[in-house]
Amino acid sequence: MRQSSATGPWDGIRSPETSETPIDVADVILGQCLMRFSILILGICLSFFARISNTEGPSTRQTAKHANEHIMSEKLIPSNPADVMVMRHVTPNVVTFSVPFSRFGTMKIGGRGTLVKMTSGDLAVFSPVALTEEAKAKVSELGGNLAYIVALDFEHHIFLSEWLKAYPTAKLVGPEGLPEKRAKQNDPKIGSEPFATVFTKDKKSTTRIGDDFDRDFDYEYVDGHANKEIVVNFRPDRTLIEADLFFNLPATEQYSRVPEKQKQAGGFLARHFEGLQDPQGGSNKWMKRFNWFVLAKDRASFNESIRAIAKWDFVNLIPCHGDVLEGNAKEVFQKTFEWHI
Ligand SMILES: [Fe+2]
């Protein structure tokens, strides 16, 4: 249940559960404006999300427009991922594959896949990006047996087939609705391979992935989030991995190998979006409002999930969008989601 303290989104606003706090009209107006603006932006984002991303799949409207969309995506994503990918160990067992990715060709939010070597010796990859020769070599270096390919949400799935083709014994994991969504695609990159584990709202508390995976990971299906997030924590290295639950912009690392000119934010909207998704900037109230009003579609369930995640022991946080948090991740997470905890 939402808290009605002065730290919540109703800070200064009369809470529906308490009439003790005076209404701050400006805050109400700002909140409403943000909510409506954000819903508009989110709708546009979701519509174009998969079509233009190198990490996220196309929408179900694959029609004659596909050719043009393909051309558009070529302008937006790198055609040479190996040349711009940053591959590095966050810990000895956790490797990130960071690539540039710009929403609308202007919001530089970056993309990232993460490879983990479990204590069993087998590997798991989360929200995979392009499988470059360097990425393949890293898989081999870490033992070579990829056991799990996890789509961390409803959107980050386009490279599942590419990885599964290279590692056909791996098991696919994802959120409800994703297998059906993929089956409807008319895209050569997206197959309709069966999923070994699909998280659903009703069965999420009893859904298990595998003995080896379960030994190493905490995981929570945030069904209340607009994009159906699966959040995991690799306990041995105290590293949380997620997709769209939490952005940490600007995406410095993901743009570190592109020409300087391309690193600059596109325009007014892009700069302000980046500002809104900087959890370490100021009180990050706008980011909190975005989470509260826009992304938490089922707020009660969302809050329950956030409280579960907040109990995990982690110090690093690897987002798909923006820079990796190392050492202080738990504090930043709690600050960002304090209204939900
Ligand atoms: Fe995303």
Q: In angstroms, what is the span from residue 112 Cα to ligand 1's centroid?
A: 9
Q: In angstroms, what is the span from residue 10 Cα to ligand 1's centroid?
A: 28
**Under 8 Å between Cβ of 143 and 119:** no
Rounded mean pLDDT of 289-302?
A: 93
Q: In angstroms, what is the span from residue 19 Cα to ligand 1's centroid?
A: 38
* 103's tokens: 């929403």
Is a pLDDT exceeding 60 seen at residue 125?
A: yes
Query: What's the pLDDT at 191?
Result: 95
Rounded mean pLDDT of 54-61?
A: 40
Q: In angstroms, what is the span from residue 243 Cα to ligand 1's centroid?
A: 6
Q: In angstroms, what is the span from residue 274 Cα to ligand 1's centroid?
A: 14
Q: Can you tell me the distance from the alpha carbon of 111 to that of 102, in angstroms, rounded to the nearest whole number?
A: 9
* 63's tokens: 């029609």
Confidence of residue 264 (pLDDT cuts 50, 70, 90): low
Q: In angstroms, what is the span from residue 63 Cα to ligand 1's centroid?
A: 23
Q: Look at 32-36, 172-176, 253-257, 300-304 and tell me which has the smallest mean pLDDT.
A: 32-36
- Residue spans per domain, the chain: 43-336
Q: In angstroms, what is the span from residue 24 Cα to ligand 1's centroid?
A: 33
0.75 exceeded by the pTM? yes
Q: In angstroms, what is the span from residue 97 Cα to ligand 1's centroid?
A: 15
Query: What's the pLDDT at 224?
Result: 98
Strand partners, 146: 123
Q: In terms of CATH, what superfamily is 43-336?
A: Ribonuclease Z/Hydroxyacylglutathione hydrolase-like (3.60.15.10)
Q: In angstroms, what is the span from residue 23 Cα to ligand 1's centroid?
A: 35
Query: What percentage of the chain exceeds 90 in pLDDT?
Result: 62
Is a pLDDT exceeding 70 seen at residue 11?
A: no
Is a pLDDT exceeding 90 seen at residue 57?
A: no
**Under 8 Å between Cβ of 97 and 113:** yes
Is a pLDDT exceeding 60 seen at residue 285?
A: yes
